[in-house]
Amino acid sequence: MSSARHVAIIMDGNGRWARQRALPRAVGHQRGVEAVRNLVRNIEPMGIDCLTLYAFSSENWKRPDDEVDDLMNLMRKFIRSDLPEFIANGVRLKIIGDWQSLASDIVQMLEDALAQTAGGNRTLAVALNYGSQQEIARAAAKAAAIGEVNEKTIAAHLDTNDLPPLDLLIRTSGEVRLSNFLLWQAAYAEMLFVETLWPDFTPAHLQAALDQFAQRERRYGGR
């Protein structure tokens, strides 16, 4: 039986969750943040070393301005409210994507959070303003700049270069696509697509996913 050290989740379904309840989309996003908080509090007993969450993609800027503003304000509130808990519980925050082009106050908050959580013994990696194709292109350009472009040098320049190999990728809400998330890293990851909408996704759902993962035989192209 295999255990998953690195789990990534495409957190999908906030809008549909709100629509089913005749609530504003902002409420769905708020409930989605609560689901994140609940999950992060429970990763240690599940044996997960790194949890990577797709929070805001480079394509999400196409959404209405008011929704983007709501998401950015939720991010600010989440950092302020949960940073002390991260520090107390040994959670190292890592950000992947082009996050330094976000609003200057958010960048400053993230830089402070990264510094204050650097000593954590397990990792919460959050993908912000992230697109996997762009990440691979950046890594390939950096590899070319040192004169050697191959799998090893590209991998060394990915945003995730200091994280364990990706074991399991989960997408909620019933959609079956990767949406430009961790395309390189998912080459040999196991994948699980579940119907549960993200605000309803609990530690019990994650444990069920880990139990399914443990039953899979990973061959990495062999027999």
Residue 220 scores a pLDDT above 70: no
Architecture of domain 6-130+164-175+189-215: 3-Layer(aba) Sandwich (3.40)
Q: Catalytic: 12?
A: yes
73: annotated active-site residue: no
92-127 confidence digits (pLDDT tens): 999 999 999 999 999 999 999 999 999 999 999 999
Q: In the chain, what are the domain boundaries?
A: 6-130+164-175+189-215
Across residues 168-176, what is the average pLDDT?
Answer: 97
pTM value is 0.94
Encode the chain in three state secondary structure. CCCCCEEEEECCCHHHHHHHCCCCHHHHHHHHHHHHHHHHCCCCCCCCCEEEEEEEECCHHHCCHHHHHHHHHHHHHHHHHHHHHHHHCCEEEEEECCHHHCCHHHHHHHHHHHHHCCCCCEEEEEEEEECHHHHHHHHHHHHHHCCCCCHHHHHHCCCCCCCCCCCEEEECCCCCCCCCCCCCHHHHCEEEECCCCHHHCCHHHHHHHHHHHHHCCCCCCCC
The residue annotated as part of the active site, out of 42, 60, 89, 180, is 60
The average pLDDT across 195-221 equals 91
Residue range 129-134: average pLDDT?
97
Average pLDDT over residues 130-145: 97
pLDDT for residue 12 is more than 70? yes
